[in-house]
Amino acid sequence: MQPIIQAEQLEKVYRSGKVEVKALQSASFTVERGEFVSIVGPSGSGKSTLFYLLGGLTQATSGRIVIDGVDFATLNDAERTKMRKSKIGFVFQKFNLLPTLTARQNIDIAYSISGRTEPLDEAHLRNLTDMLGISDRLDHRPSELSGGQQQRVAIARALVTQPAIILADEPTGNLDTASSDAVLEMLQRSNRDYKQTVLMITHNPEAASIADRILHMRDGRITGVEAGAGRVIHSAL
C-alpha cells in the first residue's frame, strides 16, 4: 500500500537580500496510512517549516511531497486549497479561533468551507465534543474559555470533517498538564478509533512518546528515527 505522506529530498531556503537560510535540507521520510508519527527537535530545527510544507501552506524550494497519491507540485493554488480542505485537519499551537463566534460557530464554519455537500453529522459532532469535554461550552466565545478549552475547540474544528490526515504543530505548547493530556488523548483516539493518520510536531519528548514512530530533526535535517513507546494517555476528562 502506498504511504499516505511521502516527502522526498525536501529543501526550503529563505532569502533576504544576500542572506540565505536553509530551513530544510534533504528531508525525506514516509508516513503510512493510519500511523501516528511525532517529529521532535529543538527550536530552529525546521519542524514548523516541514509542517507548513506538508500542509501545502507554503512551497518547497526543491523536492517532492505526495499526499494520498497526489503530488503537490502538480496542483495549482486552487487545487492545493481543495486538497487541504478535503484531506487535512490542522491543529496549531495558537488556537486561531474567530473571537466573535461561539465555539459551535467556529466548528461549523470549518465544516462549511470544507466543500462537503452532505449535512454535518450531528451525532459525530456530539460524540467529538463529549470526548473533548466541551459539549457544555459550545455557546461560549473564545474569551470565555480557558486555554485548554480553546485548544479542544480547535481540535474539534480540525476533526469535524473527519480528514484522513491530522497535522498538529505543538498542540500542547501553551497548555497545562491536564489540558495537554486531554489533547494528546484525543489525538490518540482519532488515530485509534477513527483510523486517522496523525503527524505531530513537538519539542516535548514525553508528548512525542505516544506515537508509533518518532523522527528527530536538527539543523533542517532528519537525523534519526526511533520507535515510539505507544504510551496511552488517560486524561481526567
What pLDDT, in 10s, does the model give residues 147-193? 889 989 999 999 998 899 999 999 988 888 888 888 899 899 899 98
pLDDT digit string, tens, across residues 37-91: 999 999 889 999 999 999 999 999 999 999 999 998 899 999 998 888 889 999 9
Strands 165-169 and 197-202: parallel
Give the pLDDT band of residue 108 (cuts 50, 70, 90).
very high
C-alpha to C-alpha distances, 218 to 13, 24, 159, 179, 222, nearest whole angstrom: 15, 9, 30, 28, 7
Please say if the pLDDT value at position 230 is more than 80: no
Calculate the average pLDDT of the chain: 91
CA dihedral 132, 181, 179, 104 (to 10 degrees): -20
CA dihedral 55, 61, 63, 66 (to 10 degrees): 20
Sheet containing 5-16, strands listed edge to edge, beginning at the edge strand earlier in sequence: 19-31, 5-16, 62-67, 70-71
Please say if the pLDDT value at position 236 is more than 70: no
Contact 208, 40 (CB under 8 A): yes
pLDDT at 234: 63
The topology under which CATH files domain 5-227 is Rossmann fold (3.40.50)
Q: What are phi and psi of 18, to 5 degrees?
A: -90, -5
% of the chain surpassing 70 pLDDT: 97
Please say if the pLDDT value at position 232 is more than 70: no
Burial of 97 (0-12, 13-18, 19+ CB in 10 A): buried
pTM (whole model) above 0.85: yes
Matching residue, cell 496510512: 33
Per DSSP, which regions of 84-220 are E strands?
Answer: 88-91, 165-169, 197-202, 213-218
